[in-house]
Amino acid sequence: MRQPLLALLAKEPAHGYELKQALETIFGSAYPSPNIGQIYVTLGRLEKDGYVRSVDVEQANRPNKKVYYITAAGLEALQTWVEEPTEGPRVRDEFFMKLVLAPMTGLSDRMALVNRQRRHYLALMRDLRELAERTDPANRVALLLIEGAMLHLQADLDWLERCQEELP
Amino acid sequence: MSGEAPVVRAVNLVKIYQTGGVPVPAVRGVDLTVEAGEFVAIMGPSGSGKSTLIHMLGGLDSRTSGEIWLDGTRADTLSESAWAVLRREKIGFVFQFFNLVANMTVADNVELPALLGGASPRQARERREYLLGELGLADRAEASPAQLSGGEQQRVALARALANHPRLLLADEPTGNLDSRNTRDVLRLLGQVHRQGQTIVMVTHDARVASMADRVVSLLDGQIADDGAIPRVRRRGGGSAGDVVELHG
Amino acid sequence: MITTRTAELRWIRADLRARRGQAALTILTVAGIVAALIIGATLLEDGTNPWRGLFERSNSAHIWIHSKDVPDVSALRRLRGVTDIAGPYRSAPATLVTGNRRVPITLQESPAALPAVARPLLREGRWLDVHAPNGVVVERSFARALGLHPGSPFTVTGLNGATHRLTVAGLAESGDQGFYPEWTPGLAWTLAQTLTLVEPAPGRTEMVTGLRLADPADTDLVVQRAVFTLRNQVQRVTTWREVRASMELDNRLLGLLLALFGGAGLVAAALALTNAAGGRVLMQLRDIATLKSLGFTRGQVVRMLVAEHGTLGLLGIAVGAVVARLITAYAMGEAVVVPLSAGPLAAILAGASLTVLVAVLIPAWRGGRTPPIPAAPAVPPRGHLSRLARIALLVRLPPALVLGARDSFTRRTPAVLTVCGVAIPMMMITIGLGCWATLDDFKQHPESVGQAAALTIRPGELTIEEARQRAMADPDVVAVYPGAELDALVPWQTRTVRTRALGQSSDPYPFPVVEGRMFADRGEAVAGQGLLDLLGVQIGDRVRVTIGGTPLIVRIVGRVVEPEQDGEVLSLGVDSLAAKDAEPPQFYALVLRPGADAAQVRARLQRQGLEVTQAVNPADRLAVIRVIIVALVVVLALIGLASLLTASALGLRDHALDLAVLKAMGLTPRQVMATLATATGLPAAVGVLLGAAAGAAASGWLIDLEGRGSGVGAGIGRAPAPGMLAATLLIAVGAALLVALIPARRAARAQVPVTAR
């Protein structure tokens, strides 16, 4: 959460609620909606590290609100984040552990595991598809995110198929 | 529709090909029942016998043993021509390579099954105009298939399959040859006709396509490995689908 | 069921619309073959039976009534079935004197304006003219036999002995009487005044009246009624049947040859259709599979294909029939008057229709068997090196040729189809050339068909010995054989057969003996195949015949090639006959010096007062066959080309994928072209060679078979002339390579397709 907030602040100074709204509009419903408390906690940590600083702005009839600015150190940290390559997802699949280990215990057989998992993946796929149908077609970012998720799911299903074919 | 006979009932269906004198089993004892209005996806790795199964259900391929019941009538014992007559009345087919008749216009392609089914030319034309209108192809009626994009061709193929109000729509990898945009169009149409009560059995290896179905049948080595409905995901908080993305984040 | 038809019709219409050019080509090919057949048959019929043409064109009378006095014309006209009357004309017998010969002739009155019924057909010169009463018009065959031409003067002697000098004004033909000398006496048309001059006595003339009938089948009935109506006036009656019979040639050999070519033409038509339909079906197997998946039954698919391609074929037949009719009516109006009679026409049309249906049924059946699974586009088999290609490699041919040789036989069925599609027309062409060579052989070596003697002389007014002397005196005559032709009664037969006595047993006429040996003694004879078949005897058997009332037992020692009388002729030495039949000989057969002009010799001998007939070479009678051969060779060549084009198109389609690979492998466009051209050209060249070899082997045998069937007998067949065959081979192979090269060139220059389909 740190870097996205820094990136948004590098665009323009903002207060906590504005940051939450910006995240929601950009990524759409596909992205987990952030908790406002979580945002303030993160901002506090960033301020402690010297990446942002805050200024209190007075408001009529309301408590003061804090507007955050990015610092030079913050910009530098953001630069480093942008420039370093991003790791791909690692296969550390929990299901794979189940698939390999569970039959040894005699608690379940692989066929049942695979079938249950496949149905679950398909259910997820249906959710994603319905989500994509609900999403505003103009929101390319959100749709791409959903498509990425779908492709990952398809890969998981293909892998599932391989597991079923290869494991006795 | 309860109380009716299932649209498809296959009992211990077996298909064995003879390849150079060596028997090669493709389907090994499949039991499958599809009720009216159901949308069943058949999945499985290549060579698992899913195409053979759907071809047998449509009478395109003969079964080695077992029974096929369509709409309460036994069909596996039918002759080739009787199958053809049954197909034209009760079954619509959609193929991976669209298979529009190359030398006929779009309109002729769609009207052909209706005419074959005994409709008058006027009835056939009205049905064609309605279907092409629904699929957004009304202005391409006089085009030849070669002038259409893949997605358009498959939509025409779908219109052709639906021309006779078939009891059963069989689709063999209908999106296998389409890009994602065209896939989406064809899927939307399939969903539409399904909501209107169309019974569909579809072979696919595309999970996005399979997730359209109410029920998924997984084939492995010519046998059914799994057959069941796709469950609803229980979402935490019941709101957004964001969890889904996070799972893979 | 009707609406199911609609679906089928819809598909047929769409398919035809998608390939208009190809469909038109199919129709034209079939039309060409059928038209060639009909025209050939028409010419043949006209040639072998000139009566129909003459009768039709001269609007002849079916019945001629000869009466003493002028008959009651109005009574005749009232007879039921009679549509028109010719005459009555006066007619008188007289004797024509030309050179030293005296020949009986009938003079018949005719108006100066050509009559509407029984109108003589003027062939040369001009018609009768009241201002030139000495000019008469002579019947053409009679004039030819006497050597008369327009302008020739001649003398007639009436029964009273008075002679009159007349001139030939013109020559005409007529369907009212047969040709001279089969029909005697000869006929000349004169003006009434000229006739009166020659025969002033009314008692010596008779009246001839022609009746034209609505239906020729009523002839006998009308004759009865006419004879009854005219009471005792009728002297004699002739009918069209007698005239026709006298004009008809024995045409069994011709008929058989035409049947052979008809068969060849139909096979060619079948091939053309099978190729066209087969190629089409092969190209649309996927569509057919789709149709079946939509619910078309196998029967419907077969029916659709038969209907589509059969309609093209039948349309071609109809077009061919119409075109043939138009050509015979307009382009050949001079030569052919009457369209082909119903029998042969129906036979050709029915045969062609049957052929069309059978030819179309095979690919249609193949199409119907297509499994209904419209699978992914067919991938051509990845070829292993065929044996042929391995040989090509061994002899170190350039790589392009090796690749082409590999490709050409990778797919067995199309390769075999191509080979057959080229080989069969080529075989037919070679057989046609064999027929041509056989006709040439007839012409160049008439002695091999029993016509060693080009001329036959009859003594006419002379004694037989004088005639022989005069003939021998001619410098071009090298041998003279005495001869007699008699009818012989043979056992178990109700009719007689021709017996030809020619030469002495010790000095026999050079009959073309092809089996056994020549007769060498009295009581020995040789016979044609027709006679052997008729009597069911073999060489070496004894036969009992009755000649001129004298029983005779002869031993048949050999078989000769016998083009006359359908081969039903017994030939022996004159000394084998009873003396009363042999002496004096009826005629002498003259063998001329090689290279002598028979017509000149004939003219010289005619001036000597001899009656000379010139042998008609069978090749002249068969001349029409040459026209048919040429027409069929053209059509067959077109068919061969068409099947080559189909093969080449199919081949290119199959090789579209390979093409990209070949280019990627680094073959130059020229090498790619060579590869593709070899792939199509090789099977075609193989087909050409196979077809020519089979044709050369079969032609002699086939023609001999025809000869045997027609009674002429085996031994006439000749293989095609080597030079002609070689030229044909070169042209055929050249054309095959050219046809393969043009599309190959285009394909080699085209851009490599990014995706094959």
| pLDDT tens for each residue of A2-60 | 888 888 888 888 888 888 888 888 877 767 777 888 888 888 888 898 888 888 887 77
In angstroms, the Cα distances linking C367 to C280, C302, C554 are 10, 7, 64
Q: Which of C376, C394, C421 is the last residue of a domain?
A: C376
Q: Are residues C232 and C180 in the same domain?
A: yes
| The predicted structure's pLDDT at residue B146 | 82
Cα gap B81→B91, rounded to integer Å: 14
Which chain C residues are within 8 Å of B96, Cβ to Cβ?
Answer: 376
Q: Rounded mean pLDDT of B6-12?
A: 89
**Where in chain B are the domains?**
37-55+78-231
The residue in chain A having the minimum alpha-carbon distance to the alpha carbon of residue B219 is A161
Contacts of B165 (CB under 8 A, 6+ apart): none
At the top level of CATH, the class of B37-55+78-231 is alpha beta
| Residue B103 to residue C287: CA distance in whole angstroms | 9
In this structure, the answer to whether residues C264 and C366 fall within a common structural domain is yes
User: For C14, which of B108, B113, B121 is closest by C-beta distance?
Assistant: B108
Instruction: List the structure tokens of C136.
Output: 């008469």
* C192, C212, C247 - which closes a domain: C247
pLDDT score recorded for residue C147? 74
* Contact indicator for C471, C588 with CB cutoff of 8 Å: yes
CA distance C559 to C525: 9
Q: Using the 8-state DSSP alphabet, how is residue C719 labeled?
A: P
Contact check, Cβ <8 Å, B104/C298: no
- Tell me the angle at which helices C412-444 and C252-283 cross, rounded to the nearest 10 degrees: 160
Contact in structure between C300 and B87 (CB atoms under 8 Å): no
Q: Which positions in chain B touch C290 (Cβ < 8 Å)?
A: 95, 99-101
Backbone angles phi, psi at C61, to 5 degrees: -90, 145
**Do residues C746 and C655 share a domain?**
yes
| Separation of alpha carbons A55 and A15, rounded Å | 10
CA distances from B214 to A126, B78, B87, C61 (A): 10, 30, 24, 93
Residues C663 and C687 in one domain: yes
In tens, the pLDDT along C121-169 reads 777 878 877 777 788 888 887 787 777 778 777 778 777 777 778 888 8
Chain-chain contact of B115 with C3 (C-beta, under 8 angstroms): yes
Neighbours of chain A (3+ CB pairs under 8 A): B
The identity of residue C66, as a single letter, is H
**Is residue C235 within a helix (H) or strand (E), and if so which, with residue range?**
strand C234-239
Mutation target among A23, A92, A126 for the B interface, most CBs of B within 10 A: A126
Report the pLDDT value the prediction gives residue C319, as an integer from 0 to 100. Answer: 92
Give whole-number Cα distances, C355 to B131, C345, C351, C352, C444, in Å: 44, 15, 6, 5, 38
Report the C-alpha gap between A124 and A116 in whole angstroms: 12
What b/e sequence results for C163-194 when a residue is b if at least 16 CB atoms lie within 10 Å of its CB, and e otherwise? eeebebbbbbbbbbbbbbeebebbbbbbbbeb
Q: Are residues C228 and C132 in the same domain?
A: yes
Alpha-carbon distance B69 to B57, whole Å?
9
Tell me, yes or no, whether chains C and B touch by having 3 or more C-beta pairs under 8 A: yes
Residue C379: per-residue pLDDT: 43
Q: Look up residue C118 and give its two tokens.
A: 């029984």
Q: In this complex, is the C-beta atom of C292 within 8 Å of any C-beta atom belonging to chain B? A: yes
- Closest chain B residue to the Cα of A122, Cα to Cα: B211
Predicted confidence at residue B236, as pLDDT, reads: 47
At B58, list the tokens. Answer: 């449509």
Tokens read off for C135: 């000019």
For residue range B157-174, list pLDDT tens digits in order: 888 888 888 888 998 888
Whole-number Å distance between alpha carbons of A144 and C497:
104
User: Which domain, by its residues, includes C593?
Assistant: 452-616
**Which single residue is written with the structure tokens 């025209």?**
C39
Interchain CB distance below 8 Å, B60 and C7: no
**Is B80's CB within 8 Å of C295's CB?**
no
Same domain as C339, residue C320: yes
- Does the CB of B176 have a partner CB in chain C at under 8 Å? no
Per-residue model confidence (pLDDT) at position C209: 84
Cα gap C502→C510, rounded to integer Å: 9
Beta carbons of A102 and A108 less than 8 angstroms apart: yes
Interface with A, mutate which of B46, B212, B235, B244 (most A CBs under 10 A): B244
For C383, the 3-state DSSP assignment is coil
Q: How many domains does chain C have?
A: 4
**Residue at which a domain ends, from C229, C247, C265:** C247
C300 touches chain B (CB under 8 A): yes
Same domain, C371 and C392: no
Same domain, C66 and C152: yes
Q: Looking at chain B, which subunits does it touch, using at least 3 CB pairs closer than 8 Å as the criterion?
A: A, C
Looking at the fold, whether C241 and C342 belong to one and the same domain comes out as: no
What is the interface pTM, i.e. ipTM, of the complex? 0.83
C608, C628: one domain: no
Q: Give the integer Cα–Cα distance in Å for C418 and B202.
A: 43
Average pLDDT score over residue span B80-101: 84
- Are C703 and C595 in a shared domain? no
Instruction: Find out whether C684 and C647 touch, Cβ atoms under 8 Å.
Output: yes
Structure tokens at C37: 């057949």
Contact B116 C296 (CB under 8 A): yes
The parts of chain C modelled with pLDDT lower than 70 are 1-3, 46-49, 98-101, 181-182, 246, 248-258, 261, 331-341, 374-397, 399-400, 405-414, 452, 460-461, 493-495, 618, 621-624, 653-666, 710, 750-757
Give C110's DSSP letter. Answer: -
As a whole number of angstroms, the distance between CA C10 and CA C12 comes to 6
Shared domain check, C601 and C551: yes
Q: Among C274, C235, C246, C99, which Cα is nearest to C179's?
A: C246
* CB-based contact, C11 to chain B, within 8 Å: yes
